[in-house]
A and B are shown apart, each in its own frame.
Chain A
């Protein structure tokens, strides 16, 4: 029995794959260093992330898998749910051991699981692209917090960078404590020394532009008036925007009395 630990990075996980193939010692479990439990039986292998080994695994996969499948694999890493490391390992092992491509072989559990995890992540990505609401701060920065179910920040950056090329913006993941910042040239990952207040919601009054209230209010007015009361359908409404996303949405915040 072999228990692998790694530093939690994607490169680290690919290094685990490399080491396991090198030793032909297939993992019983793969866990992040800081959460791994000491084991009584079996061997624990502490893997140190190695850029070069990770690259070799990734390049090898590139020869066997399409771009889309590689994306799905990376999405599965960002999925972060229990057991994702093992799923990724099984998938890669199957890919290396099969003579023909494994893509679309939904009869193999790991292929199906990767497809399903990637779908969930993709959906959350799409939701974040839709539900982020920027507030304009006094220093002309368009700012938003998010708390996504999966780690989708790396996936949404491209979309926002292309879309908001002429405004400074930042999106901060308060659950994972890091963010992305665009300075009119390029987008960088950032961490803040002082973590933003837990939970989402509005920035302090003093930090936002006066016009922010105006446009938020106009948006609320708009939202209230596009509704057709005769067609009210709360079930459908909730299916499209489950309650846990309401915290992002300015149109779902209480109306300020004029």
Chain B
């Protein structure tokens, strides 16, 4: 019995791990029925994998049987792998028992598509319903909506789930046609826009009637695969920007493509593009928390993010005319744009300067990191930089240290050696 479950868990956790979403925050589900669990407020990462990703939810597929053959996907029909399927009760038992031991915040359930989309979606909904109604479970539930599932099922899913997500995976229709011939963009975007309408509607109804049922209170998210198709960073971020604006998505996740298949429709790579993925996340943060528009981060002249430096520094080096920023008088929004100064530091600065004119010693004590910021700020009109360096010099100094004894080229070569060794 246990061995069977263990084997299923191995296969179905393995198959689900390429879905990077792990967030368990933003739910508003309180434990009011003296049941199990509470999902209000902040999410908690209960552990971290050795690749450094947060483990917050029991993230599994219901099954990895699939009728589709998407080239990038480890579960595709033509892939010769072991297949397994959980029963509804098995998923419920695992979730409850992991939750009771404080291993997890809840369940993230996705699935390969067996029989047809509705058949699969119906099973996912049944699990969420059972957890909520029979087990009085108030923990976090994230359900994947299966492309092509009916509106009614998606609507029902939203009643039990805290978050719903539809993965776009490929950042353009062209790539989708090539790599996932059974899927199409309408089938993916339609449920996303339905969910977004339901979210708005449920919020409106709750304003009128407190008892109106909530619909996926933690909103919806999606995932884009980076590096499995030819889109550049500008296309990817433009798509994200549209999704945030037009579909009111809570999050867009990016997953650097891990080579899981030798399919000849895919690029041949040996390592996942981890640095590129990281830069895209930084750019995504700039759009969501730092007031940047996608057009400021990338444009037709610069369609790729600089892999060596973060996108905020890139932007600052291209826009030297707005610097230096005087920290004692500048707007909060402008301080946020200084490379190396994050939301927390910016808030501290704005708060502290009401009491005294700040100097660099104050900044140091408050923990403001000056390594990059020092080229772009003044404090009481004093600068830490005696010279006005050009952008290229600043870039080198930040990348290779103040002495800049080593030439950039040499360091790059050393890095290459390191990679080979």
Contacts and interface: CB of A to CB of B under 8 A. Distances in A.
A236 interface: yes
B50 A232 contact: yes
Interface magnitude class on chain A: 35 or more
Nearest to A212: B101
Contact of A225 (B10, B103, B256): B10
Contacts of B16: 226
Interface string B5-34: 110011001101110000000000011001
A104 B352 contact: yes
Given A226-B49, A240-B48, A104 B354 contact: yes
A251 B14 contact: no
A221 B8 CA distance: 10
Contacts of A29: none
Interface string A213-243: 0110111011101111111111111011100
Nearest to B94: A218
Contacts of B80: none
A136 B37 CA distance: 17
B203 interface: no
Contacts of B44: 126, 129-130
A218 B5 contact: yes
Contact of B51 (A106, A109, A165, A232): A232
Contact of A133 (B17, B102, B274): B102
A28 to B, nearest CB: 24
A187 to B, nearest CB: 14
Contact of B362 (A107, A116, A144, A219): A107
Given A130-B44, A142-B101, A167 B49 contact: no
Interface string A108-130: 11001000100000000010011
Contact of B366 (A112, A134, A226, A250): A112
B153 to A, nearest CB: 27
B60 to A, nearest CB: 8
A137 B82 CA distance: 36
Contacts of B3: 258
A221 B6 contact: yes
B312 interface: no
B61 to A, nearest CB: 12
A240 B5 CA distance: 30
A249 B102 CA distance: 10
A124 to B, nearest CB: 14
Q: Identify which of A107, A222, A230 gathers the most chain B CB atoms within 10 Å of its CB.
A: A222
A130 B57 CA distance: 12
A233 B358 CA distance: 39
A21 interface: no
25 contacts: A104-B352, A104-B355, A105-B352, A106-B365, A107-B352, A130-B44, A144-B102, A162-B31, A163-B37, A165-B31, A167-B100, A217-B6, A222-B9, A222-B13, A223-B55, A225-B14, A227-B49, A228-B51, A228-B258, A231-B53, A231-B272, A232-B51, A235-B52, A237-B50, A237-B51
